[in-house]
Amino acid sequence: MTAMPLPLRFQVGARTLMAVQRQLVRVPLSLDEAMEGRLPVLPTLDRTAHGYAITSLPADRRDAMAFAGGGMIAFVRQHYTRHHIDLTIGFDAYQASLSGNTRSTIKRKTRKVAEVSGGTLDIWRFRTPDEMTTFHDIARRISLRTYQERLLGSGLPDDDAFLRQMYSGAAADSVRAWLLYVAGEPAAYLYCPVQGGVVRYDQVGHDPAFNDLSPGAVLQMAALGDLFAEGRFSRFDFTEGDGQHKRQFATGGVACIDMLLLRASLVNRLTTVALGGFDRSMALGKRATQKLGLEKVAKRIRR
Tell me the C-alpha to C-alpha distance, in Å, between residue 193 and each of 97, 102, 134, 269.
25, 26, 17, 38
State how far the Cα of 26 lies from the Cα of 35, in Å rounded to an integer. Answer: 19
Spell out the residues 6+ positions from residue 225 whose beta carbon is closer than 8 angstroms to its own. Answer: 91
Q: How many residues does the chain have?
A: 303
- Output phi, psi for 83, to 5 deg: -80, 150
Q: Is the pLDDT of residue 89 over 80?
A: yes
pTM score, whole prediction: 0.89
- Average pLDDT score over the chain: 92
H or E segment to which residue 258 belongs: strand 252-262
Q: What is the pLDDT of residue 298?
A: 47
Percent of the chain at pLDDT exceeding 90: 81
Q: What is the pLDDT of residue 94?
A: 98
**Alpha carbon of residue 37 to chain centroid:** 20
Q: Which segments of 87-206 are extended strands (E)?
A: 122-126, 175-182, 185-195, 198-200, 203-206
Of the candidates 201, 268, 227, which has an alpha carbon nearest to the alpha carbon of residue 8?
268
Pairing of the two strands 185-195 and 198-200 = antiparallel
Q: Which segments of 64-209 are extended strands (E)?
A: 73-86, 122-126, 175-182, 185-195, 198-200, 203-206
